[in-house]
């Protein structure tokens, strides 16, 4: 059992950290509110007081995790002005480093995705996350093009920056899912490099 939290803020933070750890380790289907309360060092009634239900707590964790993930993407893409190549490479490198350093993030995201198939509120949160991340990547591409770092969108193949951003993210999240399921797959590094090369060709940033 974790150290007992005292204030309301301490309790909620302890509950979040315990829920994050339990869900990342065992998944939504195999974690109970009692498991989380025990790990957080609070009584079970406190979880129901703050979040009403397991779904309510899971959605709270989901919002916190997706907000942090979105901020990571924003920070990596909002660095010094650079070429489209720089921005796409930054996005790929973020996923590559997160897969190594924080696999729990992706386990939770994919658990969220599973719940979103059946839960309207979870679906809304996940749709918002993917839309926001796609918008950030699209904006980074557009800014680089506007600054003259690459040919205008569509010059080569008629594919808009928005579609390019969605294709990149589809590939990266898909590769992350494969990496979670088959962590011993030695080809995942090549898959990520291939995704980077494919998108750079689409936006005309690489021959």
Superfamily of domain covering 1-52:
Homeodomain-like (1.10.10.60)
CATH of domain 54-202: 1.10.357.10
Q: Where are the domains of the chain?
A: 1-52, 54-202
- CA dist 48 to 12, 32, 38, 102, 106, Å? 12, 12, 14, 29, 27
Per-residue confidence in pLDDT tens, the chain, 207 aa: 444 556 788 889 999 999 999 999 999 999 999 999 999 999 999 999 999 998 899 989 989 988 988 888 888 887 666 677 777 788 888 888 888 888 888 888 888 888 889 888 889 988 998 999 889 888 887 777 665 555 544 445 567 778 888 888 888 888 888 877 877 766 777 777 777 777 777 666 554
| Residue 194: partners with Cβ closer than 8 Å, 6 or more residues away | none
Of the candidates 184, 164, 174, which has an alpha carbon nearest to the alpha carbon of residue 95?
Answer: 174
Cα Rg, the chain, nearest whole Å = 20
Query: Which pLDDT score is estimated for 189?
Result: 73
Residues, the chain, total?
207
In the chain, what is the greatest distance between 2 CA atoms, to the nearest angstrom?
Answer: 61
């Amino acid at each position: 059992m974790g150290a007992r939290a005292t204030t309301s803020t301490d309790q909620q933070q302890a509950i979040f950290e315990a829920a994050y750890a339990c869900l990342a380790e065992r998944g939504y289907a195999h974690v109970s509110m009692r498991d989380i309360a025990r790990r957080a060092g609070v009584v079970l009634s406190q979880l129901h007081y703050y979040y009403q239900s397991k779904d309510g707590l899971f959605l709270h964790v989901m919002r916190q995790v997706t907000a942090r993930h979105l901020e990571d993407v924003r920070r990596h893409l909002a660095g010094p002005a650079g070429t489209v190549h720089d921005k796409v490479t930054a996005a790929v490198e973020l996923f590559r480093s997160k897969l190594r350093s924080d696999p729990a993030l992706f386990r939770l995201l994919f658990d969220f995705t599973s719940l979103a198939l059946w839960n309207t509120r979870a679906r809304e949160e996940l749709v918002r996350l993917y839309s926001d991340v796609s918008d950030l990547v699209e904006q980074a591409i557009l800014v680089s093009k506007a600054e003259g770092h690459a040919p205008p969108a569509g010059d080569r193949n008629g594919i808009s920056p928005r579609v390019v951003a969605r294709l990149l993210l589809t590939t990266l999240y898909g590769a992350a899912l494969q990496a979670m399921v088959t962590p011993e797959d030695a080809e995942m590094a090549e898959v990520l490099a291939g995704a980077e090369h494919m998108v750079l060709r689409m936006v005309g940033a690489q021959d």
